[in-house]
Amino acid sequence: MTTPAINSWQSVQDEVLRRIHNRIWKPGAQIPNETDLAKEFNCGRTTVNRALRELAESGILERKRKSGTRVALHPVSRAVIAVQIVRREIEDRGANYGYALIDKTVDTPPHAVTFAMELAQAEDMLHVRAVHLADGVPYALEYRWISLRTVPQARDFDFVRQSANEWLLENVPYNRATLSILATPASPFEQEYLAVPEQTSILHVERATWQETGPVTFVTISYQPGHRIISSTTS
Amino acid sequence: MTTPAINSWQSVQDEVLRRIHNRIWKPGAQIPNETDLAKEFNCGRTTVNRALRELAESGILERKRKSGTRVALHPVSRAVIAVQIVRREIEDRGANYGYALIDKTVDTPPHAVTFAMELAQAEDMLHVRAVHLADGVPYALEYRWISLRTVPQARDFDFVRQSANEWLLENVPYNRATLSILATPASPFEQEYLAVPEQTSILHVERATWQETGPVTFVTISYQPGHRIISSTTS
DNA sequence: TAGTGGTCTAGACCACTGA
DNA sequence: CAGTGGTCTAGACCACTAT
């Protein structure tokens, strides 16, 4: 029996996970403190700390000062979704990316958008609608509002060659973001530009971003029917 | 002007983020190496390392040995979704949790399920359907298959008092998991037990888990129309 | 080969919190 | 008050990789 040597934070993590999976340490049970584990594994406490800290961040362990570390009873596992520009998403699938601006206007956003951007009062914003194509076929729709107060320079950009999606990411930093995933029947706009029949079920990703000075943008990306958001789960 | 002192890894991270947001360090540009930053901030290199490592993990920085650290051009932001048992989800909303088993059978799963569980051959599994209620109203449906080869003890559990969702988490560890989010029109099963009309758009979360010895379970949770999955975005 | 990040260590002090 | 995790430091060595 050859046990792999424990000398890196990853091997400590592996050993801890092995003990949890093999129920040597059962859900809800307390595990030894960092100092003792460091002695047992013959490594520094810092190394043990890093291994356990990551497991606590991913919800497998619960840690409290003084009372110690326990195996979580109802682990909240954290699924991680990579949010990137639509062009990359399409290119990562091995398809040719295409983009077409539908329209660009200045208008008053609907109440739901004002609310999502955490504004007390409606104000005129830049409204951009566009379609992203994979191998010439509509892949996703972009329905976007951009705050002209926070991003006045957006008014002069035409969004014909480059999507608002990319232009904003490259040119306008943000501090804080929210993301929300939901399903709705296809709106007339989606029926037309995604070329789908009435009552089709559409997956949406809504995203809003802010700077210190105020809201930057609110966008809904609507995907073709059948689209899946796939996550890599930690540990 | 009182600048907050920089003496913790968090304050280093804040300062780095400030410089990125204020475009002192522009997208694509290289930033000083850890040693220099440690000197500038008058702290240890370990502290700088931790601050930068986390930013790299969240996709804001790109790091390579020898060539150094750059501000990411197209940051892939990582949205984190907390996946927890449905009971907790409902209780966190301040509602009363209710649960009802619909049926429990042994059957051959459809091909899509066999495929999602990465099995070459179909084999009989335990099939459980149940509804989770919030304040007495259907909140989500659970459509689950459990491998009797990997989890033989599931056959004897009745899932009447405790949902398979909770029982599995407390009693059957797993190694690896996948998660997938999609939208479909309501199936007849969903129409009946969620009490929604035909053609309603339903948000699904599909999840499969594995042990060393084989697949554990495959489950689809179907939510009431209007349900949102909300994410906290890192940084 | 040399520069950069990745990690480990021992020791120290602090912050929180249960008894 | 005392036990535990949280963090910082200085120094060291290693791993990767651009040149």
**What does the pLDDT look like over A145-177, one tens digit per residue?**
999 999 999 999 999 999 999 999 888 888 788
Exposure string for A122-160, b = 16+ CB within 10 A, e = fewer: eeebbbbbbbbbbeeebbbbbbbbbbeebbeebeebebe
A169 contact residues in B (CB cutoff 8 A): 74-75
Q: What is the pLDDT of residue A179?
A: 94
Task: Say if residue B26's pLDDT is above 70.
Answer: yes
Res B135 pLDDT > 90: yes
Q: What is the mean pLDDT of residues B174-189?
A: 93
Domains recognised in chain B with CATH numbers: 9-71 (1.10.10.10), 81-233 (3.40.1410.10)
Alpha-carbon separation of residue B192 from A184, B69, B98, B198 (angstroms): 19, 55, 17, 10
Mean pLDDT for chain A overall: 92
pLDDT tier at A1, thresholds 50, 70, 90:
very low
Q: Which of B78, B79, B177 sits opposite A77 (nearest CB)?
A: B177
Comparing CA positions, the residue from A228, A91, A178 lying closest to residue B79 is A178
pLDDT for B3 equals 57
Instruction: Tell me the average pLDDT across B96-104.
Output: 97
CB contact under 8 A, B179 and A228: no
Kindly state the average pLDDT of the residues A103-113.
97
> A67: which nucleotide lies closest, measuring CA to C1'?
D4
Closest CA of chain A from B107, distance in Å: 27
The position carrying tokens 């983009």 is A99
Position A81 confidence tier, pLDDT thresholds 50, 70, 90: confident
Average pLDDT over residues B157-170: 92
Q: Phi/psi at B168 (nearest 5 deg)? A: -65, -45
Backbone angles phi, psi at A223, to 5 degrees: -100, 160
Mean pLDDT of B179-207: 96
pLDDT at A10 (0 to 100): 93
* Rounded-to-integer distance, Cα B194 and Cα B197, Å: 9
Strands, E assignment, A72-213: 77-83, 97-107, 125-134, 137-147, 176-185, 201-211
- State pLDDT tens for residues A12-66: 999 999 999 888 999 899 999 999 999 999 999 999 999 999 999 888 999 999 9
pTM: 0.86
Q: Is the CB of B52 under 7 A from strand D?
A: no
The pLDDT assigned to A234 comes to 55
For residue A147, the one-letter residue type is S
Q: Which nucleotide is nearest to A12 (CA to C1')?
A: C8
Q: Write the pLDDT tens digit of every residue in A186-207.
A: 999 999 999 999 989 999 999 9
Quick one: how far is CA B151 from the chain centroid? 23
Joined tokens for residue B126: 């335990």
- Strand C and A7 CB separated by under 7 Å: yes
